[in-house]
Structure 1
Amino acid sequence: MSIGDGSSTAFQTARGEDYPALRQFTIFLENRVGQLTEVVKRFEGTGIRICAISIADATECAFVRFLLSDADRGREILERSGLGIIETDLVGVELPSGNQPLLSICSALLQAELNITQAYSLIVRPNGKPAVAIMVENPESAINTLREKGFTIITEGDLSDDPTREN
């Protein structure tokens, strides 16, 4: 009998699907034809979708940032591939209705003196509405500020394709 046999402890990460921050993975790729395709292929057949992507090109490399529908499993795939990855917390927020939805998000964060350092739109539409992922200096404070102002925060669970998950 090995240690842990018959244990009823569930093996889960400390972050659940409803953790308010989204995990962004940044990888560094050589600036060569086909490098992005090789990374995207790693998710083929896994059921993991790329939910948002941003590419910043430099002279000899590219910085590829993305959000995945299953961050824990996605990290495992990236680590097994031998790619250097950086994991960062982002805030996902649904765009409100109106003519200038991004302005209302920026204004709310400005009032709290929170600076946005990165932003990009989500490819998927959680809850059927457009959303953005933003990097801020203090994600927890940004989430609290946006919730207090009535914005809908996108969680990791909102990116999941799991049909058993309740919205």
Structure 2
Amino acid sequence: MAVSTAEKLNSPQVRQFSVFLQNKVGALLEVVKLLNERNVVVLALSIQDSSESSIGRMVVSDPDMVVALFEEHEIPFSECEVLVVELPEGAADLAKVLSALLKAEVNIFFSYPLMVRPRGRAVIAMHVDDTECSSSVLAGDGFKTLTQADLSR
């Protein structure tokens, strides 16, 4: 069993992009159109707005293409790893996921649902302080964490 866990943790994790947008009408649409022109699908989206700018957090179908596009078009961005957890019973599983992470003393910095349902199940993206520990604890409680390959199919 340790071998499958090691394989799971070594597979490509999900990359999230934080895009810094001017606070103007249509700024997000411009970015999404650019991605769509290269057949990149936004799988999850969260917007944090302030008076001067916005941050669009997104999970996409082709992270490598996004890096190239953002650099080519000089779009300011950063990226980080997020944990994507499948919720077999939908929203009813949220408390179980949070309880498992609490037992492991894992901090959640932010979270949002995905707009896609791989394998027909609800999924949630979470940026946590310890992805490896979180994946292990959640697997022990019967939850599946998804990789970029699971989302990019």
Report the TM-score when normalising by structure 1. 0.82
- The CA deviation string for residues 50-96 of structure 1, in whole angstroms up to 9 with x for no partner, is 00000000011001100001111121111211011111000000013
Displacement of 1:98 after TM fit? 6.7
Residue aligning to 2:16: 24
Contact 2:90 2:122 in 1 (8 A): no
Once the two structures are superposed, the pairs formed by residues 82-97 of structure 1 within 5 Å of their partners are 82-97=74-89
Q: What letter matches 1:56 in structure 2?
A: Q
Bigger Cα displacement from structure 2, 140-149 vs 106-115:
140-149
Distance 1:103 1:73 in 2: 35
Q: Whose helix proportion is higher, 1 or 2?
A: 2
Is residue 50 from structure 1 mapped to residue 42 from structure 2 by the alignment? yes
Query: Any stretches of 5+ residues in structure 2 without a counterpart?
Result: 1-9
**Segments of 4+ in structure 1 off by > 4 A?**
none
Of 130, 137, 155 in structure 1, the residue corresponding to residue 129 of structure 2 is 137
Structure 1 counterpart of 2:27: 35
Greater gyration radius:
1
User: For each residue in 1:105-134, what CA deviation from the matched residue of structure 2 results, as whole angstroms up to 9, or x when unmatched?
Assistant: 000000000011110000111111110000
**Does structure 2 conserve the Cα–Cα contact (< 8 Å) formed by 1:70 and 1:159?**
no
RMSD, matched Cα:
1.5
Residue among 149, 160, 165 paired with 2:141: 149
| Corresponding residue number in structure 1 for 2:115 | 123
Question: What is the CA distance between 1:48 and its match in structure 2?
Answer: 1.3
SS of residue in 1 equivalent to 2:15: strand
Q: Does 1:62 find its partner at 2:62?
A: no
- SS of the equivalent of 1:100 reads helix
d(CA) in 2 for partners of 1:98 and 1:41?
30
